[in-house]
């Protein structure tokens, strides 16, 4: 299997951080982010989506406050986040 050297990941990460848009985080987004970062079960998640799955994966609502809803699919390892505009979603994605 082909492997990418660790230094390549650091370079790619650095490139993404250079182009990160400046955005002032809202209080409601900060509360959601704090909640998500405090969840031990989310440490192994590898996906975050802004639309609902249509295949019927079992999800559980783990956060519902200030107009933000977060559903977690533990069997496939991803979360769905609803109620954010694109700028807020981008900021959440960068911070997780």
Are the CB atoms for 81 and 88 separated by under 8 Å?
no
Residue ranges of the domains in the chain? Answer: 25-95
Q: State how far the alpha carbon of 65 is from the alpha carbons of 7, 20, 93, in Å.
A: 39, 26, 18
pLDDT per residue as tens digits for the range 3-56: 544 444 444 444 555 555 566 788 999 999 899 888 877 666 778 888 888 888
pLDDT per residue as tens digits for the range 52-86: 888 889 999 999 999 999 999 888 888 999 999 88
Report pLDDT for 26.
Answer: 87
Q: Structure pTM?
A: 0.72
């Amino acid at each position: 299997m082909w492997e990418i050297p660790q230094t390549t990941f650091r370079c790619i990460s650095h490139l993404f951080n250079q182009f990160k848009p400046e955005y002032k985080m809202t209080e409601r987004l900060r509360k959601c982010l704090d909640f998500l970062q405090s969840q031990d079960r989310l440490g192994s998640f590898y996906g975050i989506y802004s639309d609902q799955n249509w295949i019927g994966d079992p999800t559980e609502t783990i956060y519902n406050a200030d107009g933000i809803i977060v559903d977690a699919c533990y069997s496939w390892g991803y979360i769905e986040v609803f109620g954010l505009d694109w700028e807020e979603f981008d900021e959440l994605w960068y911070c997780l």
